[in-house]
Structures are given as structure tokens and as C-alpha cells.
Amino acid sequence: MLVVFVPSQLWLKQRITQYKSNYKTPLNPTIMVPGSSASQNRFDTLITQLRKETKTPHSVLKLKVAESGQITYTGSIKRGDNQPFIVIAFENNRDGYTNINKQAQWLNLAFKDLVKTYHFNHFSMLGHSNGGLILSVFLEKYLAQTQNVTPERLMTIATPYNMESDSTTKQTAILKELIKARGKLPKKLTVYSVAGTENYSSDGTVPANSVNQGKYVFQNQVAHYTQITVTGDDTTHSDLPQNKQIILLIRQYLLKEVLPSKDRLPMTKRSQSNDVTETGLP
């Protein structure tokens, strides 16, 4: 009996483990993190526009994390909505290297609480400005603390990976930190880094060169890394989350919506390694 029982139990345990690793929960939220000085209402205009343009209603849950670690919830995830938006903001939303690292810790507290409450095991992310830095630090330093939860896609909008620096050779402290720990990034992650330019060098706040330094963090570390540049109307730093082209990018690449051919934004220039894509959009 032992000869039969022991191998069968080992086989069953292996199958259960394999099932758990392959199973994806119906709930697949998009977690949004605003930049410095922005509240949990930062993405309201974007969300309103997405609700108008998509066939999915997308309920909205907002979290605010106090400096004490206390989390305040507003809104809710409606029954049957498997693709909600979850906005996470911080009482201390100030700029700076030290605060960004603190905000990544607070994001981790909120994330753990969300997984415990809603039991999802895959998700996507959207970060505007320093929100993209917070998400990047979180992925490297803290995600591994929550087991069996997989990030699928990350889109950053005007994220200054080299802070205010326009240099292509000198690296700020946070860029050095992100490069040093990039080996801890999720290997199956797909990343889209979006820059806006009023004059092909800046969005009025963040230098395009700073946004593009993200390639040194993600290239050859994640499954796919794509750089996208948006020019034209509504490309100032604060306008970018509501930019019509970026809304289409979010629908097509982050939410994986099948768009009509006239609205699809094709990739026009790929490197030989297919890890980096640079696209200029009208």
C-alpha cells in the first residue's frame, strides 16, 4: 500500500502546485499610482474617458495610505467586474528620492491588503510621473513578499527615471538604485514607457532624456520593453494622462482591448533584439 500511496500523493501534490501556478483569477485589476503632489483623484478624467470609450464599465476603488500605514478605502469593486481600476495614493505625496522610497513601502502595504481582501493573482499597473518610479521600486524591492501574484503589464507615463536631469551620461541616485536591483524585476513583465514632448526634448516638466533612461532599468530584464513618444496637442506633463493618443495606448496595450483598425497604434521601429521599440506618434 505504501508503494502505491506515497507516489500517488507526490503526484497529486505536484498537480495541485502546477494548477495553482497556471490558474489565473477572473479578477485582473489595473493598479494606478499618481505622481508627486497628486491625490487619489488624479486619474478621474482619464477613468471617465476610458469608461466612455470601452465596453467594460470598470468600477473604481481608491486607497489612500497615511504615513502611519493606515489605509483608507473609498469606492468599491462591483460584483462581476473583473477589470476594475484601483488607484493608490499617499498622504505624504511629496517629491524627492527619500519620499519615493517611502511611498514604495506604503504601496507594498496597500498591495498586500488588496491581495488579502480580493484574492487576485495577476494585475497590471499604470504610473504617471513619479508614480512610475514608485511602481518600479515596488517591483524590485517588495513584490516578492507577496507570493503567487504576477504583474503582467506596466505602463509609465512621463516617468523621470533620471529625475530632472537631462544628461545621458550622469545618473541620479534613484536611477543607480533601480539599475542595481533590476535583476529582481519580474521576468515575464511587459513594460511600456511613454514620453510626451512639446518640443521633442521635454513635456515642460520632465526631460525626454530622463524618461528614456528607463531602458537601462528594463531592457533585457523583462519580457518586453517598449518606448513610445507622443507629440502634438495635450503633451504637457499634467495633460498626458488625458491625452487622446495615450488613452488609445492604454486601451490597446494595457487593457488589451481589441480596437478597430483605424484606432490601432502600430509599432513602427524595432531594434534587432526586439526588446526596445521607439515609436513616434502624430
CB burial of residue 55 (10 Å; 0-12, 13-18, 19+):
exposed
**Which of 84, 41, 37 has the alpha carbon at shortest distance from 63?**
41
CB burial of residue 86 (10 Å; 0-12, 13-18, 19+):
buried
Domain ranges of the chain: 27-281
DSSP 107: H
Answer whether 175's CB lies under 8 Å from 210's CB: no
In b/e form, how buried is each residue of 189-227, taking b as 16+ CB within 10 angstroms? bbbbbbbbbbeeebbebbbbbbbbbbbbbbbebbeebbb
- Upper half-sphere CA count for residue 180 (Cβ side, 13 Å): 8
Question: How far is the C-alpha of 180 from the C-alpha of 170, rounded, in Å?
Answer: 15
Instruction: Give the 3-state secondary structure of residue 269.
Output: coil
- The architecture (CATH level 2) of 27-281 comes to 3-Layer(aba) Sandwich (3.40)
List of residues 6+ apart from 74 with CB closer than 8 A: 40, 61, 62, 64
Q: What is residue 259's predicted lDDT score, i.e. its pLDDT?
A: 81
Q: What is the pTM of this model?
A: 0.87
Q: Collect the ranges in the chain with pLDDT lower than 50.
A: 11, 15-19, 268-282
Question: How far is the C-alpha of 65 from the C-alpha of 190, rounded, in Å?
Answer: 27
CB burial of residue 71 (10 Å; 0-12, 13-18, 19+):
middle
Kindly state the cell numbers that stand for 57: 464599465
Kindly state the cell numbers that stand for 204: 515642460
Determine how β-strand 71-75 pairs with β-strand 60-65.
Answer: antiparallel
